Amino acid sequence: MLRKLRNFWQRISEGIAVQQLWAQFRADARESYQFYSKEVDRAPLEGESRWKRFWRIARGLFWAMMMKLSPVRRVLLLIALVLLFLPGVRIEQGDQTTDTVDTQFFAGVVLVVLLALELSDRVTMKRDLEIAREIQSWLMPSEAPKVPGVDIAFASRPANTVAGDYYDAFFRPNGRLLLVVADVAGKSIPAALLTATLQASLRTLAALPGTLVELVARVNRYACEQSLQGRRFTTAFVAELEPATGALTYVNAGHNWPVLRHASGAIERLEAGGLPLGIKTAMDYQSGSATLSTGDLLLIFTDGLVEAEDEEEREYGEDRMLAVVQTLRSGTAAEALKRIMVSVDGFVGLTRQHDDITCLVLRMTQTGTVD
C-alpha cells in the first residue's frame, strides 16, 4: 500500500520536492493575484474602514475571476458556491423525513465538471499554441552561420508559448553578415504574428542593394503599414559586420543598447539610430560604427533580460548584466550566453517570466581571416 501511495505521489508531483512545489505554488498564486487585481480598484475611499476596504477588494477579485468565464460556466460556479455553503437539505414527505442531502458533495461534482471544461479549453489552446510555436521556430535560425573568425550563439525564451522577439543572422548579397534582434510590442499570438511579418519583410528587403540605413528605412515603412497607427511598434537593433576587418555598422531603432566588451575590458554601448520601427514613416535613421578585434564580445538583448524580476519584484537590471559581461574574458559565445542566462535564472528563481528574453552573443575569435 505504501509503495502504491509513493508511486501515486511520484506521478502527481513528477518527483519535485515539497519545498519546491510550495515555492512554485507561491509564485503561481502571486502571479494570479497580480493578474486579477489589475481590474480591482484598491485605492482607499474616504472614511472607509479596513474591513470595508477588504470586502470591497475581495468582491472585486471575485467579479474579476467570474467575468473571465463564459455565462454558462458562471452559472455553474454560482451553483457550486451556493451548494458549498448550504448546511444540507432535508426532504420531507408527510410525517416521514428522509436522509439529509449532502449539498457539499454536489458542489464538488459541479466544481469538477467546471474544472474539466476549463481544462479541455486549455489543452485545446495549448495544442494550437504549440503548433504556432513550431511554426515560429521554423522562422528563426536553429544554428548560427559558420563564419571564419566569428563565433555566434543565440537563445530566445518566450514568456508564453510563442514570443514577440525575433533574432537572425545571415549574409547579405554584399557579403556582409547581417545581425538582427527585435522586440515587437506585446506578447503571445498578436506579437508573434507581427514578428513573422517582420522576418519575412526583412529577409526580402535585405536581398535588395542598398546601405544598412536604407534597409532599416524600408523595413520601417513596411512596419508603419502594419502598426495600427503606432500601437504595434517594434524596437530593433540591426547591424552589418565585415568579418575580415571586424568593422561593424549598426542602426539602433529604439532598442536596448547592446554591449560591446573589448578584450581590454572597456565597455562600449551601441546607441545610434532613431525611433522604433512602425511609429513614424518618414524617419531619418542614423547609423553608428564600431570595430571588433580578436577577443571582443558583443551582446545584443531584449528588455526581457534586464527587466526580469524576482519574487520581490526587483529587476535584474543592467548593473548585474554588465557585471557578468565583465567576467566574460574568454571562452566561446555559447559559454558566454550560458553564463548570462544562468545569472538571470539564479536571480529570478521560481518567479514566472513576464516578458520574452532573447540574447545574441558574438565573439570575435580572429580578424583578417577572410580575403
Our count of domains for the chain comes to: 2
Within-domain flag for 56: no
- Cα–Cα distance, 20 to 17 (Å, whole number): 5
pLDDT for 217-272, tens place per residue?
999 998 888 766 656 789 999 999 999 899 999 999 999 999 999 999 999 999 99
Grid coordinates in use for 146? 559558420
pLDDT, residue 189, reads 72
Same domain, 176 and 309: yes
Same domain, 28 and 173: no
Same domain, 22 and 169: no
Q: What is the CATH number of the domain that holds 235?
A: 3.60.40.10
Within-domain flag for 11: yes
pLDDT, residue 370, reads 44
248 phi-psi bin (left φ>0, alpha ψ -120 to 50, beta other): beta
DSSP string, 304-317: HHHT-B-TT--B-H
Same domain, 20 and 152: no
pLDDT, residue 171, reads 93
Within-domain flag for 271: yes
Per-residue pLDDT of the chain (371 residues; tens, 9 = 90+): 778 787 777 778 777 777 777 777 777 777 777 777 777 776 766 667 778 888 888 888 888 888 888 888 988 888 888 888 876 666 665 566 555 667 788 888 888 999 888 888 888 777 776 776 777 677 778 888 888 999 999 988 887 766 778 899 999 998 899 999 999 887 667 777 788 888 888 999 999 999 999 999 999 998 888 766 656 789 999 999 999 899 999 999 999 999 999 999 999 999 999 999 988 888 899 999 999 999 999 999 999 999 998 888 899 999 999 999 999 988 999 999 999 999 999 998 878 778 889 999 999 987 654 44
Within-domain flag for 46: no
Within-domain flag for 90: no
Same domain, 150 and 283: yes
Same domain, 346 and 202: yes
Cβ–Cβ under 8 Å, residues 155 and 207: no
Same domain, 9 and 153: no
Helices (H), 42-102: 50-66, 71-85
Host domain of residue 189: 146-364
Beta strands in the chain (DSSP E): 92-93, 96-97, 150-157, 165-171, 177-184, 234-242, 247-253, 259-261, 267-269, 273-274, 288-291, 297-301, 357-364
Within-domain flag for 127: no
pLDDT for 159-189, tens place per residue?
776 677 889 999 999 889 999 999 988 766 7
Same domain, 150 and 28: no
- Cα–Cα distance, 283 to 277 (Å, whole number): 9
- Cα–Cα distance, 141 to 228 (Å, whole number): 28
The pTM (predicted TM-score) of the whole model is 0.74
pLDDT, residue 240, reads 96
Within-domain flag for 160: yes
pLDDT, residue 254, reads 94
Beta strands in 133-258 (DSSP E): 150-157, 165-171, 177-184, 234-242, 247-253
Within-domain flag for 76: no
**Cell 474591513 -> residue:** 51
3-class SS of residue 214: helix
> Would strands 150-157 and 357-364 be described as parallel, antiparallel, or unpaired?
antiparallel
Cβ–Cβ under 8 Å, residues 219 and 206: no
pLDDT, residue 205, reads 93
